[in-house]
Chain A
Amino acid sequence: MKGDKPEEQGLDPEPEAPNQPTEEEEALIEFHRSYRELFQFFCNNTTIHGAIRLVCSQHNRMKTAFWAVLWLCTFGMMYWQFGLLFGEYFSYPVSLNINLNSDKLVFPAVTVCTLNPYRYTEIKEELEELDRIAEQTLYDLYKYNCSNTLGAHPHRRRRDLGRTLPHPLQRLQVPPSPRQARSAASGMRDNNPQVNREDWKIGFQLCNHNKSDCFYQTYSSGVDAVREWYRFHYINILSRVPDGSPSLEEDTLGSFIFACRFNQNSCNQANYSRSYHLMYGNCYTFNHKNNSNLWMSSLPGINNGLSLVLRTEQNDFIPLLSTVTGARVMVHGQDEPAFMDDGGFNLRPGVETSISMKKEALDRLGGNYGDCTKNGSDIPVKNLYASNYTQQVCIHSCFQESMIKECGCAYIFYPKPQDVEYCDYWKHRSWGYCYYKLQVAFSMDSLGCFTKCRKPCSVTSYQLSAGYSRWPSVTSQDWVYQMLSRQNNYTINNKRNGVAKLNIFFKELNYKTNSESPSVTMVTLLSNLGSQWSLWFGSSVLSVVEMAELIFDLLVITFLMLLRRFRSRYWSPGRGSRGAQEVASTPASSLPSRFCPHPTSPSPSQPGPAAHPALTAPPPAYATLGLHTSPLGSAEPSFSVCTAGEP
C-alpha cells in the first residue's frame, strides 16, 4: 500500500490539474498543505493521550514541559515492562503438565533370550581351538585344571599349540611400566599365583599398527580378565562368519518356549519373531511391530498379560562367555530395538517371575522450547538400526560410525553399513588397540556422541517391578514336568533348573503422561502487552498506525514542498510563480475542491468563513460535540488544483 502512495501523490497535483471540472469528489488520498495544518489535524484527532497534552498544549511552556516529563516517564515505564515481557517470552519457558490417563493400552514388545550363545558349525573348530588355548592359559596362570568343563580334547591340552593367538593373557605387576611387566610376567610364570595377590593384575596387551604404542588392558579380577579376553577372541572368530548365512540349527518355538499365553488365549507362531544375539543366544520378540494385530490390554492383572514357560537348560553353552543361567527378558516399545545389554531383566530358573509394568510417557516440546528431536532426521548421525530414533540407537550408531572412521572396521555387536566389514585382527591388526582407546574416549565423551545425540521428544517407558515365587510347587511338579517333557519330546533332567515361568502384565491401566506446554503463549504475551500499554499510555496498535501516518504525511509534505521549491526556482518563471503560490497557502484559498465548479453558489461559501475561527482559535478539547465542524473546516482546503484554477 505504502508503495503506491508516493506514486499517486506525486501524480496528483500535476495530471489532475487539467481535468479540474470533473474533479468533483474526494481524491483518493489527500494531503495537508502545511506542517501547521498537519499538526493541527493530528492534535485534534490523535488518540495517544500524552501526545495531545505534549504537542498540542503549545501556549503554556510549563505545561508542555510537565507533560514532556510525564510522557517520557510513562514511555520509559512501558518499554521497561515490554522488555520484561519479551524477555520472558523469548526465554521460552515451559510448564510441566502431568496427565493421568486411563486407557486400553497396547502391550509393549517383549524380548526373551536364552542366554545361550550358539556354536556355529562354520566356526566350531576355531572355537574349540580357542577353548583349548583358554584352558592352557587358565592352567598357566591359575594352575586350574579344567578338563571337566571344557575338556573336549584333553589329549591335546598343554601340548602342540598349533597356532598361538595374538594378545595373550598375562599376569602383570602393579604399578609396572608395560615392558617390564611383560618380562616380569614371563619370568614369574612358575610362581605360585597366591603369593602377593594384591600386586598382580591380569590383562592382555594391545598395540597399534606399527607396535610403537602399546598398552595393557588389565583387570583386577581374573574372572573378568578371562571373560573379557575370551570375548575379544570370540568376536574375532564371529567376524569371520559370512554375512547372512549363519546356519542356525533349526530351532522352533517349542524347544525354548514351552507354553505361551496372552490374555487367556494361547499364542502362535505369528505372534513372535526370532532374532539372534551374539551374547544372549536366540531371542524371541513377542508383539513386535510387524505383528499383524498388536496385543491390547484392557484389564490389568496377571490373567490379562503375557505368560510364558521357558526352558532354561544350558546344553551347548560356552562356559567362558556367559556365566549366568536362566533367561533374559526385556520390555521395550514396538519400534525400538531390544538392547538386551542395557535394559534386560534376568530370570532365575525354577522360579515364577511376575513382572508388573507401569507405563509412563514423556512428551517434550521441541523447537525453541527444548533440545530434543522429533524423529531424529535432524541428527548428524546416521541411524544404522532399522527402527525409530531413540537416544540409545543414536549413541550406538555414533560409536559405530567413529569406529569405522578410526579403526576401519565395524564392531560386531552393532549393525554395520553395507560396505564395511567386521573387525578381525587377522585383517585389521590393531583394531583391539583402536577399540579400547575409542571406548575410553567414548566414555569420556570426547567423541561427542552424547552431545550429538539429542533426546527424542516423546519417550514411552515402562517401569518394571518383579515378584518371585517358587515354581512348580512340590505337589504339582510331577505332572507339570511330565507333561512338559511329553509334549516337547524332551526330558527335563535337572528338574528345578530346567524351567522358568514368566508373567508380564500391566499393574494398572492408569498411566502418567508428563508433557510440556509453553507457559507464555503468543496470546498471553499480547494480552500482557496490551494491559501494560493501556495502563501507561492508553493507546493501542491503531495509535501506532496513526503515528506512522503522521510520519508518512510529514515526509510526503516535505517532499512536495521541496519539489515545488525546486520547480519554482529552476522552471519557467510563469509556472514557477504559480507553484510558489500553491505552496504559500492562505486561508482564503483554502476552499474545498469540490465547490470549484460552482463558485457562484451562495450556500457553499458559508462554511468558508466558519473555518477561519477554527484555524486561529486554540484547538478545543477533542471529541466535544461542537468540534466536529472545526476539523472539517481545516481539513477541507487541501486540493491545490482547485486553488490554482481560481485566480
Chain B
Amino acid sequence: MAPGEKIKAKIRKNLPMTGPQAPTIKELMQWYCLNTNTHGCRRIVVSRGRLRRLLWILFTLTAVALIFWQCALLILSFYTVSVSIKVHFQKLDFPAVTICNINPYKYSAVRDILSDLEQETRDALKTLYGFSEMKSRKRREAESWSSAWEGTRPKFINLVPLLFFDEHATGKVARDFVTGRKRKVSGSIVHKASDIMHVHQSNQVVGFKLCSNDTSDCATYTFSSGVNAIQEWYKLHYMNIMAQVPLEKKINMSYSAEELLVTCFFDGVSCDARNFTLFHHPMYGNCYTFNNRVNETILSTSMGGSEYGLQVILYINEEEYNPFLVSSTGAKVIVHQQDEYPFIEDVGTEIETAMATSIGMHLTESFKLSKPYSQCTEDGKDVLVTNIYNAAYSLQICLHSCFQTKMVEKCGCAQYSQPLPKGANYCNYQQHSNWMYCYYKLQQAFVREELGCQAVCREACSFKEWTLTTSLAQWPSVVSEEWLLSVLTWDQGQQINKKLNKTDLAKLLIFYKDLNHRSVVENPDNTIPSLLSNFGGQLGLWLSCSIVCVIEIFEVFFIDSLSILTRCWWQKTKEWWARKQSPRCPEASLSRRGQDNPAIDIDEDPPTFTSALRLPPAPGTKMPGTPPPRYNTLRLEKAFSNQLTDTQVPDES
C-alpha cells in the first residue's frame, strides 16, 4: 500500500462517509443540502416537523420554477431593439433628381411607327362613340396616311379588338365592331364578325377579350369608362410596337436634354444639360438625372432654402403629345439616391405647366438591424430573386424583378415596362401570340400573391427617404410673362423654332428645407452582459445561487448520483454473480442473506450499498425491532454512519 493511499484510508476512517463518496443517494442529498450555499436546501434538512419540511421543499421548488420562468422570459425578449433618433446638422449631399416629360416620344417622330394604331383607334372611336376628327387634325391625319408603312402593315393589331359587352345579357354577348375591311386584312382571327354597333346604350360596357393560344380559355376585360378602355387598349398595342424598336432609335425619337431643360441653376451657380445624365425609361422615354455621380462627385448644398437648390425651367411641348397614350400634360420628377432606380411610374411627383412648383425636401435615414432582429436584408444578396435592375436593392426592385422573372418563365417573354433579364426579349404578337392573356393572368395572380413574390422579397435594412412638400404658384406672372417668354424664346432659338407659350413651360425648384437630417437607428436592446447580469439577479433574488451553485447542482444530481447508482448496481451484480458462481463459503453468505432480507423488506428501500454490505450481527438483530425510519430522519442517519465507519473500511481496504 502506498503511503498516500494509507493517509487517504485514514482520513476516510475518521470522517463520516458523506459527500460524493456517500453510499446512498439519500445520504448524498443530505450532504448536499447541508453544505450547499443555495438557500432553502439546508432548511429542508434541518427543519423539524413534516409540514415545515414540506413547506420548505415547496418554497425551494417554487423558487427554482420562478427562476426558470423568469430566465425564459429574459431569453425570449433578448432580440428586441430600441430606437434612437438623432438629428444632425451638416452639409448634405444633394440627392439625384430625375426629370421626365410625361409624354415619352415626340409624336411627330413616332407617328410613322404608330400610324396604323392611330388609324385603328380613330376608327374605334368613330364606331364606338361617333367621334369625328376635329378640323385641325384633318391635315395631319391625311399626312399620316400618306406616310404610313405600306408594305409592312402590322397585322397583329386586329388580334385583340375592342368589343362591346352587353351588361344585361346573361351570356355576355360580345360584339365585334371592327369593319369588314379590316376583317379582310386579318382573316385569321377567330372572332366571329357581327353587326357594327352604331347606337350604344349606357348599359353597355367596353372592353376587350384575351384568349390563350387554343382560344378555349378566354378572359374579358371590361371598363366602366370608354376613356379607360381606349387608353388601356392603346397602351397594350403601343407596347407591342415599341418592343420591336431598337433602343437607339427610341432615344433619338425622344427629347434631348437641351430641349427639355431650358434653364438650370444649382446652389447659386448656373448649370446646363451636361450636368444631367440620360436615363431611358420604357414608358416615359428620355429622362434626365441630375447629380447622378457624373464625375464620381456628388454635389452638396451648403445652405437650405429654395435659393440653394435646383431650379430648372422645363420645356413641355404640348403639341408633340401622343393623344391616346397620355392624357395629361406636365413633367414628372423623382428624388432618389444616386444608386437607386428611379421608379417614375410609381412614385414620381407631377409638375404642372404654367406653374412654379416648389418642392421642399427633408431627409430621413433609417437603419434597421438585420437577422436575428428582423427579416430585412443588407444588400439583397441573400434574397432568392436576381436583381434585373442595374441599381441597389430595394423591396420594389425585388418585386418587379420577381414578376419579370416569372413572366419570362411562364410566358416566354419579358414585359415591356421593366428591364430585360438575361437572354429574354420583350413580348410582341409576332413571336408570342398569347402573351397578353398570359400577362393579365400573371398580373392577377401577382396581386393575389399567388406568385410568392411578396413572401420572397424582403425589405432593405437601410434606406434614405426624402419627405417632399409641394407648393404651387402661378408662373410666370402676368406682368413678367411677356419679357420672360421672349427672352427664353431667343435663348432656345436653335432647339425650338416657335414662339414659346406659357403653357409650354414649367418651373421646378427642389431644395432642402433645412439641413437637419434625421436618422433613425435601431440598437440592440439587450447585450450578453446585460442578459447575464439579469440572470444573476434572478438567481440571486430567489435562491441566492450563483453559477457555481448551478455547477454544483449539476455535479451532485447528475454525476454523483449516477455514479452512486452505477456503483450500487455494479455491487449488486457482482454479489449476485459471486453467489451464483461460487458458493465457496456458504455459511457466511447464507447468514448474510438471512439477516439482510427482512430489514430490507421493512425498509421499503432498494437494497443499497450499505444494507447489502452490513456485516455485524448486533445491529442487524436490532434492526427489525426498530421502526423503519422515515426518509432522512436524523437519528437514524447518525446510527448508520456510526456503524458504517466501522464496517465499511475493512471491506473496502
Q: Which residues of A contact B (CB under 8 A)?
A: 1, 5, 8, 24-30, 41, 44-45, 47, 95-98, 100-102, 104, 254, 258-261, 263-264, 266-268, 296, 298-304, 309, 351-352, 354, 356, 465-476, 478-480, 482-484, 486-489, 501, 505, 507-510, 517, 521, 523-524, 526-534, 538-543, 545-546, 549, 592, 594-595, 598, 601, 603-604, 606-607, 623, 625, 627-629, 631-632, 635-636, 638
B541 within 8 Å of A (CB atoms): yes
Determine whether the beta carbon of B520 is less than 8 Å from that of A98: yes
Determine whether the beta carbon of B39 is less than 8 Å from that of A47: yes
Across-interface contacts of A486 in B (CB, < 8 A): 129-131, 226
**Interface hit among B288-296, B302-310, B633-641:** B633-641
Across-interface contacts of B82 in A (CB, < 8 A): 95, 97
Determine whether the beta carbon of A527 is less than 8 Å from that of B230: no
Across-interface contacts of B330 in A (CB, < 8 A): 468-470
Given known contacts A259-B224, A483-B131, A100 and B541 CB-to-CB distance under 8 angstroms: no
- A1, A24, A102 interface centre (most CB from chain B within 10 Å): A102
Q: List 21 A-B contacts (CB under 8 A).
A: A41-B46, A100-B368, A258-B225, A259-B225, A264-B232, A266-B225, A298-B454, A301-B343, A304-B346, A309-B227, A474-B329, A476-B322, A487-B227, A510-B395, A523-B534, A530-B539, A530-B542, A603-B622, A607-B638, A623-B35, A625-B35
Given known contacts A24-B627, A354-B350, A526-B537, A510 and B225 CB-to-CB distance under 8 angstroms: no
Determine whether the beta carbon of B224 is less than 8 Å from that of A632: no
- Complex: A102 Cα to B627 Cα, angstroms: 74
Across-interface contacts of B540 in A (CB, < 8 A): 530-531, 533-534, 540
Contact code string B122-140 (vs A, CB < 8 Å = 1, else 0): 0001000111001001000
Determine whether the beta carbon of B48 is less than 8 Å from that of A527: no
Chain A nearest CB: distance from B167 CB in Å? 10
B51 within 8 Å of A (CB atoms): yes
- Complex: A479 Cα to B635 Cα, angstroms: 111
Determine whether the beta carbon of A97 is less than 8 Å from that of B321: no
Determine whether the beta carbon of A467 is less than 8 Å from that of B349: yes
Chain A nearest CB: distance from B223 CB in Å? 5
- Complex: A598 Cα to B430 Cα, angstroms: 114
8 residue pairs, one from A and one from B, having the closest CB atoms: A530-B541, A301-B346, A259-B225, A534-B540, A469-B330, A527-B537, A467-B350, A530-B537
Given known contacts A482-B131, A542-B63, A607-B635, A96 and B15 CB-to-CB distance under 8 angstroms: no
Determine whether the beta carbon of B537 is less than 8 Å from that of A259: no
Determine whether the beta carbon of B202 is less than 8 Å from that of A298: no
Determine whether the beta carbon of A303 is less than 8 Å from that of B345: yes
Determine whether the beta carbon of B351 is less than 8 Å from that of A259: no
Given known contacts A466-B470, A483-B226, A507 and B70 CB-to-CB distance under 8 angstroms: no
Across-interface contacts of A469 in B (CB, < 8 A): 102, 328-331, 350-353
Determine whether the beta carbon of B35 is less than 8 Å from that of A474: no
A sample of 4 more A-B contacts (CB under 8 A), given A484-B227, A486-B130, A529-B541, is A104-B449, A469-B352, A486-B131, A625-B35
Determine whether the beta carbon of B544 is less than 8 Å from that of A102: no
B385 within 8 Å of A (CB atoms): no
Determine whether the beta carbon of A543 is less than 8 Å from that of B348: no
Interface positions, chain B 382-415, Cβ under 8 Å from A, are 395-396, 399
**Interface hit among B52-60, B269-277, B575-583, B600-608:** B52-60
Determine whether the beta carbon of A471 is less than 8 Å from that of B329: yes
- Complex: A465 Cα to B472 Cα, angstroms: 12
- Complex: A205 Cα to B194 Cα, angstroms: 73
Across-interface contacts of A538 in B (CB, < 8 A): 544
User: Could you say which of A28, A309, A527 contacts B541, with CB atoms under 8 Å apart?
Assistant: A527
- Complex: A101 Cα to B395 Cα, angstroms: 11
Across-interface contacts of A598 in B (CB, < 8 A): 625-626
Given known contacts A301-B347, A509-B395, A543-B39, A635 and B634 CB-to-CB distance under 8 angstroms: yes
Chain A nearest CB: distance from B1 CB in Å? 25
- B324, B625, B635 interface centre (most CB from chain A within 10 Å): B635
User: Could you say which of B225, B327, B622 contacts A476, with CB atoms under 8 Å apart?
Assistant: B327
B176 within 8 Å of A (CB atoms): no
Chain B nearest CB: distance from A550 CB in Å? 11
Select from chain B the residue with minimum beta-carbon distance to A627. B34
Across-interface contacts of B137 in A (CB, < 8 A): 478
Given known contacts A259-B225, A470-B330, A475 and B51 CB-to-CB distance under 8 angstroms: no
Given known contacts A486-B131, A541-B63, A475 and B321 CB-to-CB distance under 8 angstroms: yes
Determine whether the beta carbon of B635 is less than 8 Å from that of A604: yes
Interface positions, chain B 599-637, Cβ under 8 Å from A, are 619, 622, 625-627, 630, 633-635
B9 within 8 Å of A (CB atoms): no
Across-interface contacts of A45 in B (CB, < 8 A): 42-43, 46
B543 within 8 Å of A (CB atoms): yes
Across-interface contacts of A623 in B (CB, < 8 A): 34-35, 37, 42
- Complex: A469 Cα to B470 Cα, angstroms: 13
Given known contacts A28-B51, A487-B225, A300 and B347 CB-to-CB distance under 8 angstroms: yes
- Complex: A636 Cα to B46 Cα, angstroms: 10
- B18, B443, B543 interface centre (most CB from chain A within 10 Å): B543
Count of CB-CB pairs between chains A and B under 8 Å: 325
B65 within 8 Å of A (CB atoms): no
- Complex: A73 Cα to B35 Cα, angstroms: 29
Across-interface contacts of A475 in B (CB, < 8 A): 107, 318-319, 321-323
Select from chain A the residue with minimum beta-carbon distance to B333. A467
User: Could you say which of A96, A472, A636 contacts B635, with CB atoms under 8 Å apart?
Assistant: A636
Interface positions, chain B 501-535, Cβ under 8 Å from A, are 503, 520, 522, 533-535
Across-interface contacts of B16 in A (CB, < 8 A): 625
Given known contacts A97-B81, A527-B70, A476 and B635 CB-to-CB distance under 8 angstroms: no
Chain B nearest CB: distance from A466 CB in Å? 6
- Complex: A629 Cα to B545 Cα, angstroms: 25
- Complex: A548 Cα to B225 Cα, angstroms: 84
B446 within 8 Å of A (CB atoms): yes
Determine whether the beta carbon of B638 is less than 8 Å from that of A632: yes
Chain B nearest CB: distance from A52 CB in Å? 13
- Complex: A543 Cα to B59 Cα, angstroms: 11
- Complex: A636 Cα to B634 Cα, angstroms: 9
B419 within 8 Å of A (CB atoms): no
Across-interface contacts of A474 in B (CB, < 8 A): 318-319, 321, 329, 503
Across-interface contacts of B468 in A (CB, < 8 A): 465
Chain B nearest CB: distance from A261 CB in Å? 6
Determine whether the beta carbon of A300 is less than 8 Å from that of B34: no
- Complex: A478 Cα to B357 Cα, angstroms: 27
User: Could you say which of A258, A302, A472 contacts B345, with CB atoms under 8 Å apart?
Assistant: A302
Across-interface contacts of A539 in B (CB, < 8 A): 39, 544
B49 within 8 Å of A (CB atoms): yes
Given known contacts A264-B443, A603-B622, A541 and B459 CB-to-CB distance under 8 angstroms: no
User: Could you say which of B225, B327, B332 contacts A471, with CB atoms under 8 Å apart?
Assistant: B327
- Complex: A98 Cα to B522 Cα, angstroms: 8
Interface positions, chain B 105-126, Cβ under 8 Å from A, are 107, 125
- Complex: A23 Cα to B146 Cα, angstroms: 126
Determine whether the beta carbon of A30 is less than 8 Å from that of B48: yes
B588 within 8 Å of A (CB atoms): no
Chain B nearest CB: distance from A477 CB in Å? 8
- Complex: A482 Cα to B343 Cα, angstroms: 33
Chain B nearest CB: distance from A216 CB in Å? 37
- Complex: A309 Cα to B327 Cα, angstroms: 12
Determine whether the beta carbon of B630 is less than 8 Å from that of A26: yes
Determine whether the beta carbon of B59 is less than 8 Å from that of A542: yes
Select from chain B the residue with minimum beta-carbon distance to A468. B352
B40 within 8 Å of A (CB atoms): yes
B566 within 8 Å of A (CB atoms): no
Across-interface contacts of B355 in A (CB, < 8 A): 468
- Complex: A612 Cα to B16 Cα, angstroms: 20
Chain A nearest CB: distance from B572 CB in Å? 28
Determine whether the beta carbon of B46 is less than 8 Å from that of A473: no
- Complex: A595 Cα to B83 Cα, angstroms: 70
Select from chain A the residue with minimum beta-carbon distance to B221. A265
User: Could you say which of B73, B347, B622 contacts A508, with CB atoms under 8 Å apart?
Assistant: B347
Select from chain A the residue with minimum beta-carbon distance to B45. A628
Across-interface contacts of A267 in B (CB, < 8 A): 224
